[in-house]
A = this chain, B = another copy of it.
Amino acid sequence: MKTLRIGLIGTGFMGRTHSNGYNRIQNFFPNLEYKPKLQAVCSRNEEKVKAFAEQWGYASYETDWKALIARDDIDAVDICTPNDTHAEIAIAAAKAGKMILCEKPLSRTLAEGEEMVKAIEAAGVKNTVWYNYRRLPAVTLAKQIIDSGKLGRIFHYRANFLQDWTISPDVPQGGAGTWRLDVEAAGSGVTGDLLAHCIDTAMWLNGGIKDVSAMTETFVKERTHAATGAKQKVGIDDACLFHCHFDNGSLGLFESTRYARGHKALYTFEINGEHASLRWDLHDLNYLEMFDHSDDSIVRGWKSILVTDGDQPYMDKWWVPGLSIGYEHSFVHQVADFLLSLEKNQPCSPTFKEALETQKVCEAVIDSANNKQWKNTGVNWPC
């Protein structure tokens, strides 16, 4: 049994999901060689970080991430801070020889991401990026079915990520819950926050994205900034849509927005192949839907597969058939897979390098939207 001493930076929403991920390993994946240990958590506000440490069981806390990275008793740094700090922290952590688990998106810009990849490659440290949705059982099952060749030639891939939480112009930009609306902190709006998920899953399932044609929109042009209290121009994209070619010749269609009234976190994808199709959505995350053209013609139909059986991905670890799991389990699975990758001395996908390919698409998307023209992504996949 080996201990992996975690140093977590950032105590927001993602700090909570990751901490929960670590905490549940012992109960549900007891046979892994590596055990995570919540060694330290870091955030600037001492009172808050202390409370967080107590709530989640961290053995200690720091208020300066550099102090955390400098510690000898930390094996892996988990970066849960806003996007504008990912590069600096990751590069420093790599230099300090720490493993790195970085919340997505990898970076604000492709250039930042490239520096980060250089740094982890130079340091030779283990790394992964939290594109957690891959680890939902129904999504992993989709991957298995696609990889089996069951779908045949792929014609279409479509995904969207629809939210509605920023429709009110009274939502501020900047600050704890709303830094995602501040272009300085976030780098982009829905492109990095939501589409990045869609792109990661899409390339994982369907291969590289070759070129894109995109549009973006900022519906609310000014919002009060939490830092200044003043109305400021909004720099992020409120909505982003694009179509694309995949390397395999299929067509992609992507949409994300925070202005789709009625949808809270509706991430959906669908893939249409010659022989079969699959679709999935995050609001009903335990289901995978499948149409199999090889069924007898009179009984063909879309099948709702409730992915809760022991022979389906990850589900032997949880309850009994029919009993569903939730959003948070994706993070537990990612922790487990990271620990397993250490055991097997293999990369834990998506690595920084893979996540950089997603950044290439994001950058091309923003570029294409700004310049109103098609853009090649330069993606190399698999990588």
A260 partner, pick from B13, B162, B243, B272, beta carbons under 8 A: B272
Known: A319-B328, A326-B323. A260 touches B156 (CB 8 A): yes
Contacts of A219 in B (CB 8 A): 155, 249
Q: Chain A's interface: helix, strand, loop or mixed, by majority?
A: mixed
* B215 and A243 contact, CB distance less than 8 A: yes
- In this complex, what residue of B is CB-closest to A297? B311
Beta-carbon contacts under 8 Å, A200-231 to B = 213, 215, 217, 219
Stretch touching chain B among A50-58, A69-77, A109-117, A336-344: A50-58
Whole-angstrom distance between the alpha carbons of A43 and B365 in the complex?
A: 51
Q: Answer whether residue A11 sits at the interface, using C-beta atoms and an 8 A cutoff.
A: no
Is A23 an interface position by the 8 A CB rule?
Answer: yes
Decide: A303 and B299 in contact? CB cutoff 8 A: yes
Count of chain A residues near B, Cβ 8 A: 94
A217–B327 touching, CB < 8 Å: no
Can you tell how many copies of this chain the complex includes?
Answer: 4
B215 contacts A215, C-beta separation under 8 Å: no
- Are A299 and B290 interface neighbours, CB within 8 A? yes
Do A304 and B301 touch (CB < 8 A)?
yes
Known: A213-B213, A255-B253, A265-B320. A239 touches B155 (CB 8 A): yes
Q: How far is the CB of A377 from chain B (nearest CB, A)?
A: 15
Contacts known (A293-B262, A320-B265, A326-B324); A167 close to B257, Cβ less than 8 A: no
Q: CB-CB contacts of A10-41 with B at 8 A, as 1s and 0s?
A: 00010011011001001100100000000000
The reply to whether B302 and A298 contact each other, CB–CB distance below 8 Å, is no
A370 touches B (CB below 8 Å)? no
A233 interface residue, CB < 8 Å from B? no
Task: Out of B144, B155, B217, B374, name the residue touching A372 (CB < 8 Å).
Answer: B374
Residue A118 lies at the interface, judged by CB distance under 8 Å to chain B: no
**CB closest chain-B residue, reference A309:** B297
Residues from chain B with Cβ under 8 Å of A275 in the complex: 261
Q: Is the CB of A301 within 8 A of B298?
A: no
Asked if A27 and B19 make an inter-chain contact with CB atoms under 8 angstroms apart, the answer reads yes
Bound together, the chains give a CA A326 to CA B286 distance in angstroms of 9
Interface members, chain A 304-330 (any B CB < 8 Å)? 304-306, 308-309, 311-312, 318-329
Q: Give the nearest-CB partner of A31 in chain B.
A: B55
A290 CA to B295 CA, complexed, in Å:
12
Question: Which residues in B have their C-beta under 8 angstroms from that of A54?
Answer: 30
Q: How far is the CA of A302 from the CA of B57 in the complex (A)?
A: 39
A165 CB–B CB distance under 8 Å: yes
Residue pair A241, B253 in contact (C-beta under 8 Å):
yes
Q: Which of B145, B259, B291, B305 contacts A156 (CB 8 A)?
A: B259
Residues in chain B near residue A17, CB distance under 8 A = 319
For this complex, 16 residue pairs linking A to B, each with C-beta atoms less than 8 Å apart, are A26-B57, A27-B56, A155-B167, A165-B321, A215-B251, A260-B277, A262-B291, A263-B322, A265-B322, A284-B284, A286-B326, A289-B301, A290-B299, A303-B304, A319-B327, A323-B326
Residues of A near any B CB (own CB < 8 A)? 13, 16-17, 19-20, 23, 26-27, 30, 54-57, 141, 144-145, 155-156, 158, 162-165, 167, 213, 215, 217, 219, 239, 241-243, 245, 249, 251, 253, 255, 257, 259-266, 272-277, 282-293, 295, 297-306, 308-309, 311-312, 318-329, 372-374
